[in-house]
């Protein structure tokens, strides 16, 4: 009789997720819908509909949102997690770490479990989540 281990349970879970994703792709269903966040119910100014980002990459932005200065631009030196081009976002001059997912949605260190269509939308959501608190540097 085989013994149930964490490794075998994890392997089964990964296999199940992969099979569900493959089935969605095979049927032509948009897999990004399952991973997309539910949005922010308090304001309609954050667009977190995944998949609407053009393939050329997001444009630079610089604005004041809810009294906080947010700006972002493509990086030329490469991203934090891979060798490709990255994107830098700042809230009041402090870097907000953002990452683009495989489905072209974006997440930030502040809203790690909610996806957004653009880095600007992720920065705006972070401002709302911070509720006036300062962004603390994160060691990567």
Averaged pLDDT, groups of 10, the chain, 140 residues long: 69 66 50 39 49 63 95 76 73 93 93 94 95 82
- Give the pLDDT confidence score for residue 64 in this predicted structure: 95
Asked if 46 and 121 touch (Cβ cutoff 8 Å), the reply is: yes
Task: Provide the residue ranges of all domains of the chain, joining segments of one domain with +.
Answer: 1-30, 38-130
pTM: 0.57
38-130 carries CATH number 3.30.1880.10: yes
Query: Among residues 113, 122, 5, which one has the least CA distance to residue 53?
Result: 122
User: For 1-140, where are the E strands, in sequence order?
Assistant: 61-65, 68-74, 87-91, 94-96, 98-100, 106-108
């Amino acid at each position: 009789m085989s013994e149930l281990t964490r490794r075998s349970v994890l392997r089964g879970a990964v296999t199940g997720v992969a099979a569900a994703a493959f089935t969605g792709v095979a049927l032509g269903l948009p897999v990004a819908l399952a991973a997309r966040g539910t949005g922010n119910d308090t304001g309609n100014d954050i667009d977190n509909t995944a998949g609407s980002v053009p393939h050329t990459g997001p444009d630079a932005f610089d604005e004041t949102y809810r009294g906080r200065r947010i700006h972002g631009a493509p990086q030329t030196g490469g991203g934090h997690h891979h060798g490709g081009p990255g994107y830098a976002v700042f809230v009041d001059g402090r870097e907000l770490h953002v990452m683009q997912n495989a489905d072209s949605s974006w997440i930030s260190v502040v809203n790690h479990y909610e996806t957004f269509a653009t880095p600007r939308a992720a920065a705006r959501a972070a401002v709302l989540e911070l509720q006036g608190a300062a962004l603390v540097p994160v060691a990567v």
